[in-house]
Amino acid sequence: MIDLSEFKRDTLALHAGRDPDGNHGVVNPPVYHCSTVIFPTVEILLETRRDRASGAYVGFTYGREGTPTTRAFEDAITALEGGYRAVVTSCGLGAIAASLTAFLSAGDHLLIVDSLYGPARAFCEDFLKKFGVEVTYYPPSIGAGIEALFQPNTRVVYIESPGSLTFEMTDVPAITKLCRQRGVTTIMDNTWASPICFQPLKHGVDVSINAATKYISGHSDLMLGIAVCTEAAFIPVKKTASGSGYCGGPDDIYMALRGLRTLPLRMKRHQETATRIALWLQGRPEVARVLYPALPDDPGHAIWKRDYDGASGLFGVVLNACTETQFAAMLDHMSLFRLGYSWGGYESLVVPTYPSDLRSAEKWVAPGPSLRFHAGLEDPDDLILDLERGFARLAQAA
Ligand SMILES: *Cc1c(COP(=O)(O)O)cnc(C)c1O
């Protein structure tokens, strides 16, 4: 295998996680469909038992614990984000659940950002609290002020930046510095940026989560999660993921690895198109605010510029007050910005959002309805035309 350590990120995205010379010259790694792994002797079987018990997880023992296909994808994302090893899960939420439960026990305290992904908030409310974990939500802008919220039993700080729906930036290095001093584990959801635009472990985070469902796979056709870990964090996360049954399917992992090869190119185009549309939206009378840290007047822009290498195609918009009929007239008839959850695929999407329902540390106030747009890879002129026609329908419905 070639030594990848000297190469830049765009090259790594193409060459990490495959070994043609060890695979009959075939460019892509094979797909292992596997439950059973055969051991030639009792001695070798016992070796894999010791490997598993020690938490090393070097060998392959059973499909649930991963195959060479799983390992290829884990190695590729680890090479891109920097880290020791990664753990693949059945979806992004699985990676979040496995990472949180790896480090939290009854009686522990979790500090978690108020602007986090809704289903992750629901996991804290519906499951972690039930199992005796204390949960405190912190405002995304808190930075080093998080120190005031630490308790003697604080074990984990969870970050998502920019946050889901409202896209507020968090000062990651300011938080991880304090956590390192106290031995508190930090977990970050990096799905918005993808490994191309931000590397959490290089900013002091212990576990970086990507919903590979989104940009990494990039084609809106699979569910997968991955958690990249420091050496100290790897064994707890791997044990918890395997022990809870969070494993990925071989064909989905193969397709995610295939998507990864074009991720650097796709991210550039998503950012270009999103920036153009966001600037256009800022000039529209129907728009109160655009929420996108790549815009120079966004409150999170300074942090984004300091720490990030790029932006994705996902951003928020707050409209001025309008009626529900007007809002529906706009969204019901879009040609390209179709109405649907998820994002990160090649196509554009829009969805109404209700951020104030998901806040407890800080109130979220907006003059009108909120939307989340995903700028896909279509021609940006066509996307703007679609929006222009949407605003015309909104005006007509008044
Ligand atoms: C979609 C998403 C997830 C969850 O990923 P799934 O694969 O859908 O479970 C986690 N975090 C963020 C920010 C997301 O947008």
pLDDT tens profile 348-359: 999 999 998 889
Q: Which residues make Cβ contacts (< 8 Å) with residue 376, sequence separation at least 6? A: 270, 273, 313, 336, 345, 346, 347, 348, 349, 383
> What CATH number is associated with residue 364?
3.90.1150.10
- What's the confidence (pLDDT) of residue 33? 97
113, 116, 117, 219: which to mutate for ligand 1, most atoms within 8 A of CB? 117
Per-residue confidence band for 205, with pLDDT thresholds at 50, 70 and 90: very high
**The 287-291 sheet, strands edge to edge:** 287-291, 314-319, 370-374, 349-353, 338-339
Q: Which two tokens stand for residue 278?
A: 């966001």
pLDDT at 2 over 80: no
Give the span between the Cα atoms of 284 and 133, in whole angstroms: 46
Give the CA-trace dihedral at 172, 177, 182, 186, to 10 degrees.
30
* Any domain includes 310: yes
Around 217, how many Cα atoms within 13 Å sit in the side-chain half-sphere? 23
- Range 163-179 average pLDDT: 97
Whether 62 sits among the annotated catalytic residues: the reply is: no
pLDDT at 297 over 90: yes
Q: Are 358 and 383 in contact (CB under 8 A)?
A: no
* Look-up of token digits 């829009």: 350
* Any domain includes 127: no
Give the span between the Cα atoms of 348 and 364, in whole angstroms: 26
pLDDT at 288 over 70: yes
Pocket of ligand 1 (CB under 6 A): 91-93, 117, 164, 189, 191, 211, 213-214, 223, 225
End-to-end CA separation in angstroms for the chain: 64
* Any domain includes 194: no
Q: What is the pTM of this model?
A: 0.97
User: Of residues 325 and 2, which shows the higher confidence score?
Assistant: 325
* Any domain includes 79: no
Comparing 22-26, 59-63, 330-334, 378-382, the range with the smallest average pLDDT is 59-63
Give the span between the Cα atoms of 113 and 124, in whole angstroms: 11
Q: List beta partners, residue 228.
A: 86, 208
- What's the confidence (pLDDT) of residue 52? 82
- What's the confidence (pLDDT) of residue 6? 87
* Any domain includes 199: no
Comparing 2-11, 90-99, 265-274, 386-395, the range with the smallest average pLDDT is 2-11
5: how many CB neighbours lie within 10 A of its CB? 7
Give the span between the Cα atoms of 275 and 380, in whole angstroms: 10
Whether 8 sits among the annotated catalytic residues: the reply is: no
Give the span between the Cα atoms of 160 and 99, in whole angstroms: 14
pLDDT digits (tens, 9 = 90+) for 9-67: 999 999 999 999 999 999 999 999 999 999 999 999 999 888 888 878 888 999 999 99
pLDDT at 389 over 90: yes
Which entry of 214, 238, 266, 372 is annotated as an active-site residue? 214
pLDDT at 379 over 80: yes
- What's the confidence (pLDDT) of residue 53? 82
The per-type count for the chain, helices as H runs and strands as E runs, is 13, 12
Q: Output the CA 223–ligand 1 centroid distance in Å.
A: 9
Give the pairing type, strands 85-89 and 225-229. Answer: antiparallel
Q: Are 141 and 115 in contact (CB under 8 A)?
A: no
DSSP 218-274: -SS----EEEEE-HHHHHHHHHHHHHHT----HHHHHHHHHHHTTHHHHHHHHHHHH
- Range 142-166 average pLDDT: 97
Per-residue confidence band for 99, with pLDDT thresholds at 50, 70 and 90: very high
Whether 332 sits among the annotated catalytic residues: the reply is: no
Domain count, the chain: 1
Domain of residue 324, residue span: 263-396
> What angle separates helix 380-396 from helix 263-282, to the nearest 10 degrees?
40
Mean pLDDT of the chain: 96
* Any domain includes 343: yes
Whether 214 sits among the annotated catalytic residues: the reply is: yes
- What's the confidence (pLDDT) of residue 115? 95
| Percentage of the chain exceeding pLDDT 70 | 100
- What's the confidence (pLDDT) of residue 1? 65
Strands (E), the chain: 85-89, 109-113, 134-138, 154-160, 185-189, 207-211, 225-229, 287-291, 314-319, 338-339, 349-353, 370-374
* Any domain includes 317: yes
